[in-house]
Amino acid sequence: MSATAGASRIQRVGVVGGGQMGAGIAEVCARAGIDTVVAESDAAAARAAGERVAVSLERAVQRGKLDRISAEDALARLVFTGDLEDLADRQLVIEAVTENPDAKAEVFTALDKIVEDREAVLATNTSAIPIMRLGMATGRADRVVGLHFFNPVPVLPLVEVVSSLHTSADTVATVESFARDALGKTMVRSQDRAGFVVNALLVPYLLSAIRMAESGYASAADVDAGMELGCAHPMGPLKLADLIGLDTVAAIAESLYEEFKEPLFAPPPLLQRMVQAGLLGRKSGRGFHMYGRA
C-alpha cells in the first residue's frame, strides 16, 4: 500500500474519550477535514467534550492560529455522542480514555464487537500500557496499534507509533500515512515496551524531580527554575508534571515499574498522596504549583 492510498482511505475517524487528549485528537482530525465522531460515557460527558473542543478552537482563532471559517468548518465535522455504537462505521478508532489497563481493555473488547469493518484500525493513545494487552482483548490484534499523541495535541507535532508482536505491517503503514499526510504530524516508531520512547526517558526524570522536592532538597519553584534557567528547558519538570496530570504521571510510572522492576521507576509516596488528594496539576487547579481552576 502506498502512503497516499493509506491516507485517502481514512475518511471516518472515531475517538473514544473526550477529555484533554481525546478532545485534542478530535480537534486535529476535524481541522484536517475528517469526519470525526467522539464517543463519551454518557450524554453529559459528550456535551462537555464538545465544549472543550469549541473552547480550544476559539482560543486558536483569538491567537491568530486559525481563521474563523476554518474553526466553524472543523466544528461542523464533529459529532459528540454518549453511545459507543455510533462508531460502528468508523475506519479508524482512537481510544483516549483514562490511563488504566482494565478500562482500556474493556473499550477494545467493545469496539471489536461494534466496529463493522474488520479492516478498520483500532488505535490507542496510551502513554505506557503494552499494546499487546489491548490487542489481545480483541479478535483482531493485527489491526491494533499504538498511536500516542502529545499534549497539547493541536500544537505538538509528534506521534509515537507502537506495534505489538501481532500488529500487521499494513496497519502500521495505514496509521503512519494518516498521521503524516492527513494530520501533518511527525512520527517516531517504538517497540512495544512500557513508556515507549518519550515517556521511558521523560518520566524517570520527572520522578527524580518529585523526589527532590519530597525530600526537601529543593523547593518545587527552585527545581523548576534550575532546569529552566540552568538547562534552557522551556518548562521545569514539576510544571511539566502538572501539565501532563499527576494521575497520568503516576500511571505511567506504575507501568514502567511493573515492566522493568526498576525501583527508581516506582511512583514516589508524595506523588501517590497528591493523586489520592485530587491534586492533579493544572486540570484540578493545584499540583506542585497553583493554577486557575480548569
Q: 3-class secondary structure for the chain?
A: CCHHHHHHHCCEEEEECCCHHHHHHHHHHHHCCCEEEEECCCHHHHHHHHHHHHHHHHHHHHCCCCCHHHHHHHHHCEEEECCHHHHCCCCEEEECCCCCHHHHHHHHHHHHHHCCCCCCEEEECCCCCCHHHHHCCCCCHHHEEEEEECCCCCCCCEEEEECCCCCCHHHHHHHHHHHHHHCCCEEEEECCCCCCCHHHHHHHHHHHHHHHHHHCCCCHHHHHHHHHHHCCCCCCHHHHHHHHCHHHHHHHHHHHHHHHCCHHHCCCHHHHHHHHCCCCEHHHCECCCECCCC
The segments of the chain whose pLDDT lies below 70 read 1-8, 293-294
Residue 158 lies in a domain: yes
Q: Is 127 a catalytic residue?
A: yes
pLDDT at residue number 211? 98
Q: Which of 56, 125, 148, 190 is catalytic?
A: 148
Residue 291 lies in a domain: no
Clarify whether residues 113 and 209 are in a common domain. Answer: no
Domain residue limits at 260: 198-284
Q: Is 199 a catalytic residue?
A: yes
Show which of 157, 174, 190 is a domain's final residue. 190
Clarify whether residues 30 and 157 are in a common domain. Answer: yes
pLDDT at residue number 293? 59
pLDDT at residue number 41? 94
pLDDT at residue number 1? 36
Q: Which of 190, 199, 255, 284 is catalytic?
A: 199
**In the sheet where 78-81 sits, what is the strand order?**
78-81, 35-39, 12-16, 92-95, 121-124, 144-149, 158-162, 186-190
**pTM recorded for the entire structure:** 0.90
Clarify whether residues 185 and 279 are in a common domain. Answer: no
pLDDT at residue number 5? 41
Considering its fold, how many domains does the chain have in total?
Answer: 2
Q: Is 148 a catalytic residue?
A: yes
How many angstroms separate the CA atoms of 123 and 68, rounded?
31
Q: Which of 160, 163, 166, 190 is catalytic?
A: 160
pLDDT at residue number 2? 37
Show which of 159, 190, 221 is a domain's final residue. 190
Show which of 190, 210, 230 is a domain's final residue. 190
Clarify whether residues 111 and 221 are in a common domain. Answer: no
Residue pLDDT, tens place only, 60-70:
999 999 999 99
- Taking alpha carbons only, the member of 226, 235, 155 closest to residue 202 is 235
Q: How far is CA 230 from CA 202, 209, 211, 214, 236, in A?
A: 18, 15, 19, 21, 10
CATH of the domain at 221: 1.10.1040.10
Q: Which residue has the cell 475517538?
A: 15
Decide: 25 and 149 in contact? Cβ < 8 Å.
yes
Q: Is 99 a catalytic residue?
A: no
CATH of the domain at 77: 3.40.50.720
pLDDT at residue number 3? 39
How many angstroms separate the CA atoms of 175 and 226, rounded?
39
Task: Pull the grid cell for residue 220.
Answer: 518545587
Decide: 260 and 111 in contact? Cβ < 8 Å.
no
Q: Which of 56, 125, 127, 163 is catalytic?
A: 127
Clarify whether residues 225 and 80 are in a common domain. Answer: no
pLDDT at residue number 25? 98
- Taking alpha carbons only, the member of 88, 108, 85, 80 closest to residue 22 is 80
pLDDT at residue number 9? 81
